[in-house]
Amino acid sequence: MNLQSERLVLKEVSLEDLKNIHLLHSIPEVDEFNTLGIPENLDTTRKIVQVMIDAQKIVPQKSYTWNIFLKESNDFIGLAGMNISHDKYRTGEIYYKLMPVHWKKGYATEVSKRLIKYGFEDFKLHRIEAGVATENKNSINVIKKSGMTYEGLRRKILPIRGKWVDNFEYAIVEDDIIN
């Protein structure tokens, strides 16, 4: 399941992507608000990627992870994902992470908007959510630009580098989208 936007191509992950994903997860700036932590070695990342690949085989698929590539150059710039409930609540949750050299160029917003569109059009979701650490100002801006509405604070929910961190919750519902 691949997706495209104006400047980006999103391709579901495979083991061939291991080195790119390991590099992304090993960058301290990317890890700042990430609950995953910096992987100890390539084998640690391999286990994480294998979970992503195994999720592709579950029917119906509930978890999607895509590599993000620049359409023009085919350069790897990050990861994006969506988890889907497949129940009566018709809810999805999205996330993204980019290489710092590609921050503040509108790519994260472009990815977020594409995932929202995909969730509503292809999965017929009612609601799409995103959580963000309260100190992650850049990601908060992305989520707002994507049309999501602030819904609340979840206190001390994110385990980041041995500390519990607060999280803002944002969402968009199908009624918010004007056709």
Q: What's the token pair of residue 72?
A: 């023009």
The 10 Å CB-count burial string (b at 16+, else e) for 35-51 is eeeebeeeeebeebbee
Residue 161 within any structural domain of the chain? no
Residue 168 within any structural domain of the chain? no
Per-residue pLDDT band at 177 (split at 50, 70, 90): confident
**pLDDT (0 to 100) of residue 165:** 97
> Which residue, among 19, 36, 17, has the nearest Cα to 28 in the 3D structure?
36
Q: How many domains does the chain have?
A: 1
Residue 89 CA: distances (Å) to CA of 107, 124, 125:
29, 11, 8
Residue 101 within any structural domain of the chain? yes
The DSSP-derived string for 43-106 is HHHHHHHHHHHHHTTSSS--EEEEEEEETTT--EEEEEEEEE--STT-EEEEEEEE-GGGTTSS
CATH of the domain at 102: 3.40.630.30
pLDDT tens-digit series, residues 27-55: 999 999 999 999 999 999 999 999 999 99
Q: What is the mean pLDDT of residues 160-174?
A: 96
Find out whether 94 and 78 touch, Cβ atoms under 8 Å. no
Residue 172 within any structural domain of the chain? no
Q: Could you tell me which residues come within 8 angstroms of residue 103 by beta carbon, excluding any fewer than 6 positions away?
A: 138
pTM, entire model = 0.94
User: What residues make up the domain containing 90?
Assistant: 3-128
CB atoms under 10 Å from CB of 102, counted, come to: 16
Residue 94 within any structural domain of the chain? yes
Q: Residue written as tokens 């579901």?
A: 12
